[in-house]
Amino acid sequence: MKKLFLVLVLIVNMAVIGFSQENTLYTFFVNIVPDNFPFPLIGMVNIATGDHKTAQIGFYNRNRINFIGWQAGFVNLVGGSIKGVQTGFINTLGEDAFGWQAGFINLAGNAFSGVQTGFINNSADAVIGWQAGFVNLSGQDLKGIQTGFLNRATGNTIGSQIGFINISSQKINGVQLGVINIVDSYENGIPIGLISIVRNNGYRAVEYSFSEFTPITLGFKIGIEKFYTTIFAGYNPSYGINRSAFAIGAGFGSILKINESFFFNPELNWLTIGIFDRNNQGISSFISYFGYTINETFSIAVGPSVTLVNGDNGNLPDALFKILNHKINDNNSIVVGARASVRLRF
């Protein structure tokens, strides 16, 4: 089948070379027409040697210059610009596009305005509109939305990137929603994800904190001040060196400046205590930190906390200190306490 397809392409290309702009071949199998041919091309192979309007419907559709209308086939090629729709397994165009490409692979040689839906969507220049696929690539600016596993804009982004990995090589005004977000800098908007790397005006800090359940806790914060995530590990020396003494967790928070020195910092954290123990316990905490910025590097924060403690068969972890402890049932309780932290920003 592959050899037959290659032979077919070779024969068609030889036929195109032999045809001038004045010659026309119009059959139900192979259609080769000159510039501005007024009728649709419906056949196995459809080739327009100049501009063409209306439709090309077949296995292999090729338009040497500009196209206005609908190309529907396994392979659709436009050498110039397109205003319309390409639907097929492979859709490519050499210049600008205004419309819709729907296929497994969609390629635009210049700027693309409209919608690309497929497994791989790639525009060599800017994208204005929506790219939806497994891999979405914009060679320059993105003004619109990318939704997929991997989304990348080489220029600036005005809009949204939603996927597992989102990359904007320059500034972004909008939202990144994914597991991993990478951007040069944020002007307006927010990155929401497990790991958000903002190269220029991002927030990165290591933290030592003291809590009711893990007095020795080390954390790493990353994102922007408006929204950051934290991963941390804790140790409770009162348990000694055993499986119940160690904890890991994650959370997110926001730093809201009151003035140049003081800030309000709400956080929501989840912690698993006794990570090596079969009967580990989980706690969920909301902390209202109030902080003070010592300099560009160091800051301190303290504040009250409210923690929901979950155990198993009455196996609830004990708080080292508490303001209030309300037992809901044998497996759940609410503890009101306090937290303190020291942070090193870099």
CA distances from 120 to 139, 147, 153, 160, 168 (A): 14, 11, 14, 18, 17
With cut-offs at 50, 70 and 90, classify the pLDDT of residue 22.
low
Q: What is the mean pLDDT of residues 227-235?
A: 95
pLDDT of 6 > 70? The answer is no
Query: What is the SS3 assignment for 282?
Result: strand
CB count, 10 Å around CB of 205?
19
With cut-offs at 50, 70 and 90, classify the pLDDT of residue 289.
very high
Quote the CA–CA distance of 254 and 228 in Å, as a whole number. 6
pLDDT one-digit tens code per residue, 301-315: 999 999 998 876 556
Which parts of the chain fold into alpha helices (H)?
A: 2-18
Which domains are seen in the chain, by residue range? 1-95 (no CATH), 123-201 (no CATH), 203-345 (2.40.160)
DSSP assignment, residue 245?
A: G
Q: What is the mean pLDDT of residues 144-152?
A: 98
pLDDT one-digit tens code per residue, 180-215: 999 999 888 899 999 999 999 899 999 999 998 889
Q: What is the mean pLDDT of residues 216-227?
A: 96
With cut-offs at 50, 70 and 90, classify the pLDDT of residue 57.
very high
pLDDT of 15 > 60? The answer is no
Q: What is the mean pLDDT of residues 211-239?
A: 92
With cut-offs at 50, 70 and 90, classify the pLDDT of residue 25.
confident
Check: CB of residue 214 under 8 Å from CB of residue 273. Answer: yes
CA distances from 119 to 34, 106, 127, 132, 135 (A): 33, 8, 17, 8, 6
CB count, 10 Å around CB of 307?
23
pLDDT score of 14: 46
